[in-house]
Amino acid sequence: MTTASYTIGWLARAGGVGVETIRYYQRRGLIETPSRQGPAGSGGVRRYDEKDVRRLRFIRSAQAAGFTLEQIGELIELDAGKDRARARELAKERIAALDEKIADLDRARSVLKKLARDCASQAGNPCPILAAFEGPGSRPR
Amino acid sequence: MTTASYTIGWLARAGGVGVETIRYYQRRGLIETPSRQGPAGSGGVRRYDEKDVRRLRFIRSAQAAGFTLEQIGELIELDAGKDRARARELAKERIAALDEKIADLDRARSVLKKLARDCASQAGNPCPILAAFEGPGSRPR
DNA sequence: ATAGGTTCCGTACCATGGTACGGAGTCAAG
DNA sequence: CTTGACTCCGTACCATGGTACGGAACCTAT
């Protein structure tokens, strides 16, 4: 039984975020707020466990996948639920968005690669930043 | 001589943004604010040209490449300038960031792909959202 | 020449995802 | 049993990138 328990500070470090960020996620309802543990009468401190660490890591990964915190909240509810169709829908939507985004970034990357090359030569050809991006017009956000 | 001129509304449409966004970019110093053109005595309206359209499109592409508006401002200054080293540096930094980001998104994509597959079956195996993201821990932003 | 659509401009407000502050309470080591 | 670090909580503030509002001026077509 390794039922180690963490303080909020340890949880934060385990997830690579700040304490304030944990509290923020709690306010957003993404992480539960355990009850205070301590001798009766004194307030005590809230204690977290592995489950919370996993939850936190999930949040960070899902963010990296481009989900908003609101969507992440929905995913968390879905995880414990039965609505597979909705889960699938969210996943597919995100995949489509990722495909677009990845294509955009790939395009941007090659533009930059060429730009860096052109700007390498001490003199000679110019290094025209604005012109470099002409043509492949992708929209941001 | 096709020196067509645009009103701000046309410029906005040409760039696929709203009028307010143009004004915002002007406030940020990313797009110039031409002087009002009109019969002496009357205010007249500001008129834009192809150069502005190109500038605007550049801004959108550079945003898609992950540059912040502040960096885009720097790029614009650099474009008309001589500091090739700095231009190169910005490009290379961004390429590195893009490489990381693209890798993250690729990872996220395959996680989601698998998740969508698992959540497809009507019954049988579960569709464990949180668990799906375990392992490849990438940080957001 | 008048109506309706634009433009101009300042200022306010918005969403997202945090980060900081500050006072009071709690905990752990020496 | 004190001292220093950490926690708790409410509230305020921040950066980024816009979006909205509203009145006055302006421009264009009828």
C-alpha distance from B137 to closest chain A C-alpha (Å): 6
Which residues of A in 44-103 have their CB below 7 Å from strand D's atoms? 45-46
pLDDT of residue B31: 98
* ipTM score for this prediction: 0.89
- B29-60 burial: b if 16+ Cβ within 10 Å, else e: ebbeeeeeeeeeeeeeebbbeeebbbbbbbbb
Q: Tell me, rounded to whole angstroms, the distance of Cα B111 from its chain centroid.
A: 26
Asked if B96 is an interface residue toward chain A (Cβ–Cβ < 8 A), one would say no
A91/B53 Cα distance (integer angstroms): 37
Residue closest to sugar C1' of C25 by CA = A43
Residue type for B4, please? A
Q: What are the structural domains of chain A?
A: 8-65 (1.10.1660.10), 87-132 (no CATH)
C-alpha distance from A97 to closest chain B C-alpha (Å): 10
The region that residue A39 occupies, defined by phi over 0 for left and psi between -120 and 50 for alpha, beta otherwise, is beta
DSSP annotation of A84:
H
Which residues of A in 60-89 have their CB below 7 Å from strand C's atoms? 63, 68-70
Question: From the list B75, B120, B136, which residue is nearest A129 (CB)?
Answer: B75
Q: Are A94 and B112 in contact (CB under 8 A)?
A: yes
Q: How confident is the model at residue A129 (pLDDT cuts 50, 70, 90)?
A: very high
A35/A26 Cα distance (integer angstroms): 13
Asked if B9 is an interface residue toward chain A (Cβ–Cβ < 8 A), one would say no
Residue B74 pLDDT more than 70?
A: yes
Q: How confident is the model at residue A14 (pLDDT cuts 50, 70, 90)?
A: very high
B138/B109 Cα distance (integer angstroms): 13
Q: What is the mean pLDDT of chain A?
A: 90
Q: How confident is the model at residue B135 (pLDDT cuts 50, 70, 90)?
A: confident
